[in-house]
Amino acid sequence: MRRFLPGGRLGIVISALALSLVAGLVFFSEQASMGKNGDTGTVEKMIVAGGTATMDMDINALNGAKSRSRESSMRFDAARDTFFTIIVFNGELRAMLPSAMELGSTNSIELPAKLAASRENLILEVSPIGAPYELVVRDSRDGFGFFNIEGPEVNYDPNTRSFSITGGRMLITEEFASALGRASDAGKIAGQLNVNVTMRPIEVATLVNGEATENKLPAGAGMSPEAGTVPGPDVIVGDLVGLAQFGSAANNQVGLAVGTDSCNAGTIDLNWFALPNNDHPVIGMNLYRMSGGADNAERFEMVGHSALKHGFTALTQNICGFGCNGVGGSRLGSGCSDPYSASLNSGPNLGSRAWVNPFTGFFPRGDSATPPNNHSGHTHTGPSHRILVGVNDLITTQNPGAAYFAEGQYVTPHEYNWCQSNPGQCNQYNNVSYRRYNVSGTAAPFSFSPNGSTQREKIALNAWTGATIVEVHPVPGVDGKAFVGYKVTNPSAGVWRYEYALYNMNLDRAIQSFGVPIGNGVTLTNVQFYAPPQHPGWSADGTDNNQGFSSAPWTESDANGYKFWSSETFAQNPNANAIRWGTMYNVRFDSNRPPVLTDGRMGFFKTGQPITVRVLAPQAGSPTCSRVPQGNRC
């Protein structure tokens, strides 16, 4: 079996890993302050003991012509005791750490010259935190990248200590496409990667009430106890990485996931107690599309949203550059960051949003009569619980010029509880960030590549070019916030197009209706309502009778000089298609009248009286103030 030279890429990876361990930056450290409410269990750092990998390739596509080879599968033995490293907490996969697996080829097939020359030097590398792709196939000698691996499903079986990577799409890298002399092949799918290996532990630590009692690492040596700068605990989404499709399409829908790196900008270590404890963050993921009009920015729509990843076992990275204090495990230390790769966020064991109050962060305990992520009694398909998106919403030929934006959101009870006991230190409104992505594909599976950096502490609606965004905060200190975005264009003489986006960030009462005043001489045409697809119900999903939330379009009505759009009321249907937290709906129409600034109306689903929202609406032809509800302007 070939071995790596000391100066090779794997040596660099191992050295970097060793240094990060010494610095206390890999998983957790001694935490005397964690008290009696911490996690109890075992954290294992594991490496590959042995196994196999295969790359099932489209040889004709790689060679650019019909191949003489009858085989299309390249088989490998994973080197024994290779430092391809994972972290497991209580038998559940927590992370793949930046590291590499040596692949020893066991068969010979016809390959392009560049790949053939590297056949005996290939490694599967886990990329550094924040890289566009979580896994890359490289030449270990010079780091030349052949394939970026997209959409891999990773699993760990604690009973057999087996780790698998299945269905990873092999995308040709730009440098390999250049070497092939076909630059346009960059990003094309060249095959599928599958790995099945057995792992063995190299470090084991036992936690009792959150404290490491064995094999402890240094407790953040040389680091400040308060690396963050914001008073209180303050989790933000520091980075979004690796948006990808996971699994195959079903019912003309696909399931996506995006990696989320969270950072604690606060001076207080943030609670991160794993299920069954309910004092940890939950993570939601969304996808939006901006499209339409001459500038492809006429409208901004949510095309999909996910169920929730439940956080567990905080790591102690420093991607936000705050200066991590070294605390991890059951708390995310001040200044520290914690990565969840797209493959981990893809589930499949994600919990329903229905259980969570997005303002207080409360949800039932995992050992209660209503556990928040029960998956008994239903079958998972490719789209299940992931960012559920219609295939037609992604096909590039059906959405020419469209821009897409991934969004991540963290909700945690610790911020709310801290706010209640420390007024003025309330950090619940900056937990959302977004990043733009390009989409490739005229059919599933789709590929995604980042276009620009993550926009921290900003909702995706802010990306809507030329729109006005209005904040809605009906009862400060009692419930969360929503936002209304609006934009009016003039596509032709005498026609004005009105577009409204209604986004609920963390408003537990939810949004049930929206209306704009329609005065004398105003005519509406092309009236539309749009909402993203709802996830189907499943057993113990937190909805009424486990039926899932309705997808019924909002109905139109006219009352008191207003045009309203509304869902059923809570009394009519607790599962009505209201705008719940972390989701956005749209209403739109054309009018014969130009815009004027006036008062729209927003009504709520669970509780609370309707409120006014300043928006643009059609100006009456012959204003008659008596026909406009009190409080509005002609």
pLDDT digits (tens, 9 = 90+) for 472-509: 999 999 999 999 999 999 999 999 999 999 999 999 99
Specify burial of residue 231 (Cβ count, 10 A radius: 0-12, 13-18, 19+): middle
What average pLDDT does this structure show over 176-194?
Answer: 94
Q: Which amino acid is at 247?
A: G
The pLDDT score that the predictor gives to residue 38 is 56
Q: Is residue 506 in a domain?
A: yes
- According to DSSP, residue 119 is labeled G
The pLDDT score that the predictor gives to residue 224 is 52
Of the three residues 445, 465, 485, the one that is the final residue of a domain is 465
Q: Is residue 519 in a domain?
A: yes
* Digit-coded pLDDT (tens) for 45-66: 999 999 999 999 888 778 776 5
* Digit-coded pLDDT (tens) for 338-381: 999 999 999 888 999 999 999 999 999 999 999 999 888 888 99
What average pLDDT does this structure show over 404-424?
Answer: 96
CA–CA dist 465, 25 (Å, integer): 39
* CATH for 540: 2.60.40.1170
- Of all residues in the chain, the percent with pLDDT exceeding 90 is 77
Structural tokens at position 607? 């509780």
Select from 289, 292, 288 the least CA-distant residue to 497. Answer: 292
| pLDDT score of 612 more than 70 | yes
What average pLDDT does this structure show over 135-155?
Answer: 95
| pLDDT score of 4 more than 90 | no
Q: Is residue 212 in a domain?
A: no
The pLDDT score that the predictor gives to residue 33 is 35
Residue 71 — very low, low, confident or very high, per pLDDT cuts 50/70/90? low
Of the three residues 465, 481, 500, the one that is the final residue of a domain is 465
Specify burial of residue 215 (Cβ count, 10 A radius: 0-12, 13-18, 19+): exposed
The pLDDT score that the predictor gives to residue 387 is 98
Q: Domain range for residue 630? A: 466-634
Collapsing DSSP states into helix, strand and coil, what is residue 242?
strand
* Digit-coded pLDDT (tens) for 294-324: 999 999 999 999 999 999 999 999 999 999 9
The pLDDT score that the predictor gives to residue 227 is 84
The pLDDT score that the predictor gives to residue 83 is 84
Looking at the structure, tell me whether residues 291 and 161 fall in a common domain: no
CA–CA dist 139, 35 (Å, integer): 47
Structural tokens at position 253? 């829908």
CA–CA distances in Å: residue 492 to residues 280, 425, 511 = 52, 50, 33
Q: Is residue 213 in a domain?
A: no
Looking at the structure, tell me whether residues 506 and 377 fall in a common domain: no
Residue 629 — very low, low, confident or very high, per pLDDT cuts 50/70/90? very low
Q: Is residue 217 in a domain?
A: no
Decide: 259 and 96 in contact? Cβ < 8 Å. no
Task: Please tell me the least confidently modeled range out of 14-28, 183-197, 322-336.
Answer: 14-28
Specify burial of residue 462 (Cβ count, 10 A radius: 0-12, 13-18, 19+): middle
Structural tokens at position 289? 């599309």
**The dihedral of CA 270, 238, 244, 314: what is its sign?**
negative
Task: Please tell me the least confidently modeled range out of 5-14, 31-40, 563-572.
Answer: 5-14
The pLDDT score that the predictor gives to residue 213 is 54
Structural domains counted in the chain: 3
Q: Phi first, then psi: give them for residue 412, nearest 5 degrees.
A: -145, 140
CA–CA dist 431, 474 (Å, integer): 19
**Which residues are 164's β-sheet partners?**
155, 196
What average pLDDT does this structure show over 525-548?
Answer: 95
The pLDDT score that the predictor gives to residue 53 is 94
The pTM of this model reads 0.87
The pLDDT score that the predictor gives to residue 633 is 43
Looking at the structure, tell me whether residues 457 and 365 fall in a common domain: yes
Decide: 498 and 617 in contact? Cβ < 8 Å. yes
- According to DSSP, residue 455 is labeled B
Q: Is residue 214 in a domain?
A: no
Decide: 167 and 50 in contact? Cβ < 8 Å. no
For the chain, counts of helices (H) and of strands (E): 6, 34
The pLDDT score that the predictor gives to residue 621 is 80
Q: Where are the beta strands (DSSP E) in 114-227?
A: 122-126, 135-139, 145-150, 153-157, 162-172, 189-208, 211-212
The pLDDT score that the predictor gives to residue 70 is 56
Looking at the structure, tell me whether residues 453 and 512 fall in a common domain: no
Helix (H) / strand (E) element for 17: namely helix 9-22
More confident residue, 322 or 13: 322
Decide: 309 and 345 in contact? Cβ < 8 Å. yes
CA–CA dist 614, 104 (Å, integer): 65
Collapsing DSSP states into helix, strand and coil, what is residue 7?
coil
Q: Give the length of the chain.
A: 634
Q: Is residue 620 in a domain?
A: yes
Looking at the structure, tell me whether residues 564 and 426 fall in a common domain: no
Looking at the structure, tell me whether residues 341 and 445 fall in a common domain: yes
Looking at the structure, tell me whether residues 180 and 260 fall in a common domain: no
Q: Which amino acid is at 345?
A: N
Of the three residues 439, 465, 491, the one that is the final residue of a domain is 465
Looking at the structure, tell me whether residues 428 and 283 fall in a common domain: yes
Looking at the structure, tell me whether residues 25 and 90 fall in a common domain: yes
The pLDDT score that the predictor gives to residue 43 is 87
Looking at the structure, tell me whether residues 117 and 236 fall in a common domain: no
CA–CA dist 303, 407 (Å, integer): 12
Looking at the structure, tell me whether residues 538 and 448 fall in a common domain: no
Residue 537 — very low, low, confident or very high, per pLDDT cuts 50/70/90? very high
* Digit-coded pLDDT (tens) for 152-169: 999 999 999 999 999 999
Decide: 554 and 576 in contact? Cβ < 8 Å. no
Q: Is residue 2 in a domain?
A: no
Looking at the structure, tell me whether residues 258 and 188 fall in a common domain: no
